[in-house]
Structure 1
Amino acid sequence: MSSSSGVTIAIDAMGGDHGPSVVLPGAAISLERRPGIRFAIFGEEQAVLPVLDGLPKLKAASVFHHCDVSIRMDERPSQALRQGRYRSSMWRAVEAVKTGEAHVAVSAGNTGALMAMAKFCLRTMAKVERPAIAAIWPTLRGESIVLDVGATIGADAQQLVDFSLMGAAMARALFGAEQPTVGLLNVGVEEVKGQEEVREAARFLKETAISGLSYKGFVEGDDLGKGTVDVVVTEGFTGNVALKTAEGTAKQIAGYLRAAMSQTWMARLGYILAKSAFDRLRDKMDPRKVNGGVFLGLNGVVIKSHGGTDAEGLAAAIDLACAMAENGLLGKVEEALRLFHERLTAETVVEVAPETI
C-alpha cells in the first residue's frame, strides 16, 4: 500500500456519464489504497455534498469548491471553453494544477473540452507543438504505453519524435525503465512502408542517438498486445481507433465466454472447475484496471478517465494520477525535451558554423 504522502488530486466531480455518484466513490476507493492523498473537489454543491456526506473518510481528506457550471458530455470544445472558462468544475480542477493547489487533475468529462481547457489554462511546454494522450495498454509482457490515442489527429515527423520522447519519459516514471524501448506504429516493419511522416520520424530516431530511449523500429497492430516495445507511438486518429477496437474486442471475447459457459451443464461444470483461471483472465481483460489517459506536453499533469467507467475504474485513474505525481512525470518530460532540443540546437550551430566563416 502506498501512502502517497503530500499528493493532492484535483477532481472534476461533475465529469463522466454518472457524475458525483461514481466519481466520489471512486476517490474513496483510491483513498483506502493510498491513505496519504488529499483531494480538491470541484462541482455543484447540491449534487456533490449529499454524496460526500456519505463518505466521511473522503470528506475529511478533501476541500470542496462549489462551481455553478458543469460541462456536458456532448458539448463542443469551443462552446465549453467559452461558457465554462473560470466557472466550471472542469476548468477549476485544471486551474488547481496551474496555481499549485493540486499536483494532478482528474476528470471523466468530455475529452475534447478537457483538452481544450487544459491547453488554454496550462499551455504546452516549450518546443511542443501539440500535446498527446497516452494510454496504459495491457500486454502479454505486462503493460505498455500507447500515444497518441486521440489528442492530435494527424502528426508530422517532428511531432511523432516529440511523442516518442514524452512516452519514454512516462515509461521511466511509471515502469522505472532507464532506457524504455520505443516503436512507431506502421502498416509493416519494412522501412519503405507507411506514410512519409512516419518514415521520416523513423529515419530521425534511427540515425539520432537520443538519451533515455531505445528506438526499435516499426511495429504493427498485433505488436500492441504482444508488448513488443515499452512505448508505441502513432498519431491520434489511428491510436484512438486502435484503443476503441481493443476495448470492443475485450468485451466481445467476454461475451463469447459467458455464452459458451452457459450453453450446457458440462460447460457450466467446466467453468466451476476452472473458475480461478477464468477469474484471472477476466481481471487481466478488465479495462477498468488500466483506466486513465495521461495528457502529455502540457505544463501540468491531467488525467482523462473513461466517461462511462464505474467507481473502480475511476479509482484506477486516480491511482495513475498519484503515480505520475510521485514519480515526477512532469519533470521527466521537461528534462527529456530540454536535453533533446539543446542537442539539436548545438548540432545545428556546428553544421552552419563553417559556412559563416
Structure 2
Amino acid sequence: MTDSITISVDAMGGDNAPRAVIHGAHMALKERKNTRFIFHGIAGAIEPLLEEFPALKPVSQIRHCETVIAMDEKPSQALRKGKGTSSMWMAIEAVKNREADVAISGGNTGALMAMATFCLRPMDGISRPGIAAIWPTQRSDIIVLDMGATIGADSQQLVDYAILGSALARSLFDSDSPSVGLLNVGTEEVKGLESIKEAGRILSQASGSGFTYHGFVEGDDIGKGTVDVVVTEGFVGNIALKTAEGTARQVSSYLRSALKANLMSRIGALFAASALNALRRKMDPRTVNGGVFMGLNGIVIKSHGGTDEIGYKSALGLAYEMARSRLIDKVGDTMQRFPIHKAGSQEPSDTEANSA
C-alpha cells in the first residue's frame, strides 16, 4: 500500500448520482487528504461537478463509459449488458488491475455482487461471498453478515461468514480475537435449523483460531452489542437491517413530534439540543452507510442507493479504512488459522444476489 489510497468509484450508481457521489467525495477528501479517486461514468455529467468542487479535481481521474446499470435490472441481465463496458464493472476492474485499492458503488446490489464475484473471484476456501454491515449498538459498533448476498446458507457458508466477519472485526476494531455469535431463535443448543446447529458445532471446535465463539445469539443481542460479529444468512440479515433502519426513522419521527407537542416541550428541546442532535446522528442510517463485500480477491463497498452526499462521504470513509487496514491480508490470515478445509468457490445466481 502506498502513502495514498486510491478509490475507484462508480459515479453513476445510486438514486442521486452523480452529484451525491462527487459531493460526497469532496467532503471525504477534506477528512483524508491523501485520497485519490477514479470516477467511472458519463464524462459529460461528471466534469461539470469537478469544476464545482475544484479541490477534488487535482486528485481525480475520469474514465468515460456510456453504459449504466439500472437499479431494477436482474444480476444476470446486468452482467451480460455491463461486463467490460459499464461504470460499475469498470470501477471493480480497476481494483483487479491494481490501479485502485478499493471500489465503491451505490448501484444495484445484486448486479454489483454478480460483477464483483465474476471480476475479482472468491478467495480460495470461500464458497460464497457475503455482505457485512457495520452496526451501531448500545456497547459499540459490531459486524453483522450476511446482509443479502445469498438467500439461504448451509452450515459451511455460515462458517465462512464467521471467518470473514471476524477478519473484518480485527481490521476495524483492532481486536486479536473478536467474539462471534450465530443468530438463532434461542440460545439453547437444541434450537434452530440443523444448518445453524452444525455451524455452531464447527465454530465451537475452532474457537481461538482468530476469533472466540460465543454461541447462539437472539435478535435483541444485535442492539445490545453482545458479540463483535453476528452471523446469519442473507434473507434474515437483510430483513433485520431494513427493520432496524425503519425503527430508527420511526423513533426519530416520534421524538420530533413529541418535542413539538407544546410550548414546554419546545423549551425543553432548546436546552437539550446538543444531546438530541447527538442522538439524531447516532440513529441516522447515513452515518454508518456502507456494506463491505467479503470473501473476494479485492475490496468492494456498497453504498446505500438512496443516500445523499453525507451518506456517500461515510461510505467513502469506510472504503478508505478498509484499504488502509489491509483487510484482504487479515482475511487470509484468519483463514490460515482456521483448521477446517473449505469448499471451492461457486458462481452467483439471480436468487443469491438480491438487492439490499
Same fold by TM-score, threshold 0.5 exceeded? yes
Written as runs of structure 1 = structure 2, the 5 A alignment for 1:91-240 is 91-240=89-238
Is the contact between residue 152 and residue 237 of structure 1 (CA under 8 Å) also seen in structure 2?
Answer: yes
2:302 corresponds, among 301, 304, 311, to 304
Q: Is the 8 A contact 1:5 1:37 kept in 2?
A: no
**Matching residue's letter, 1:36:** N
TM score, norm. by length of structure 2: 0.94
Distance change >3 Å, CA 138–CA 178, structure 1 → 2: same
Q: Displacement of 1:343 after TM fit?
A: 7.1
1:253 aligns with one of 247, 251, 254: 251
What residue in structure 2 maps to residue 50 of structure 1? 48
Measured against aligned partners, the alpha-carbon deviations of 1:121-172 in whole angstroms (never above 9, x if no partner) come to 0011111110000000000111000000010111111111111011000000
1:337 is paired with a residue whose SS is: helix
- The aligned runs of 1:29-68 (5 Å cut-off) are 29-68=27-66
Shift, 1:207, TM fit: 2.3
1:242-281 pair list within 5 angstroms:
242-281=240-279
How far apart, in 2, do the equivalents of 1:344 and 1:308 lie? Answer: 36
Deviates more, 1:143-152 or 1:52-61: 52-61
1:208 to partner: Cα distance:
2.7
CA RMSD of aligned residues (A): 1.4
Distance 2:249 2:342 in 1: 45
Shift, 1:75, TM fit: 1.3
Distance 2:128 2:245 in 1: 26
User: Structure 1: how far apart are the matches of 2:4 and 2:332?
Assistant: 22
Q: Secondary structure at the match of 1:282?
A: helix
Matched, 1:10 2:12: no
Equivalent-residue separation in structure 1 for 2:139 and 2:169 (angstroms): 14
Residue 342 of structure 1: how far off its partner (Å): 6.8
Question: Which residue is equivalent to 2:315?
Answer: 317
Structure having greater relative contact order (Cα 8 Å, sep ≥ 6): 2
Distance 1:342 1:52 in 2: 50
- The aligned amino acid for 1:275 is A
Give the structure with higher Rg (CA).
1
The number of residues matched between the two structures is: 342
Structure 1 residues 210, 35: closer, same or farther in 2, change over 3 A?
A: same
C-alpha distance in structure 1 between counterparts of 2:176 and 2:99, whole Å: 31
Q: Give the structure 2 partner of residue 351 of structure 1.
A: none
User: Hey, what does 2:351 align to over in structure 1?
Assistant: none
Provide the rounded CA distance (Å) in 1 between the counterparts of 2:293 and 2:150. 11
2:347 alignment counterpart: none
Asked whether the equivalents of residues 128 and 162 of structure 1 are also in contact (C-alpha less than 8 Å), the reply is: yes
TM-score (ref. length: structure 1): 0.94
Q: CA deviation at 1:79?
A: 1.1
Q: CA contact under 8 A between 2:210 and 2:338: conserved in structure 1?
A: no
Output the CA distance in 2 between the equivalents of 1:137 and 1:33: 22
Deviations 1:319-339 (A, max 9, x none): 001111111101111222233
SS of aligned partner of 1:216: strand
C-alpha contact (below 8 Å) 1:29/1:315 kept by paired residues? yes
SS at match of 2:55: helix
Mean CA deviation greater in 20-29 or 329-338:
329-338
Give secondary structure in 2 for the equivalent of 1:57.
coil
1:292 equivalent in structure 2: 290
Aligned-pair CA distance for 1:344: 8.2
Tell me which amino acid in the other structure corresponds to 1:340: F
* Structure 1 runs (4+) greater than 4 angstroms displaced: 341-345
Q: Unaligned stretches of 5+ in structure 1?
A: 346-357
For the residue of structure 2 that corresponds to 1:56, the secondary structure is coil
Structure 1 164/53 Cα, relative in aligned 2: closer, same or farther at 3 Å?
same
Partners of 1:342 and 1:260 in 2: how far apart?
54
- Give the Cα–Cα distance (whole angstroms) in 2 for the partners of residues 336 and 206 of structure 1: 16
| Aligned-pair identity (%) | 58
Segment of structure 1 superposing worse, 279-288 or 29-38: 279-288
Query: Matches of 2:106 and 2:207 in 1, distance apart?
Result: 38
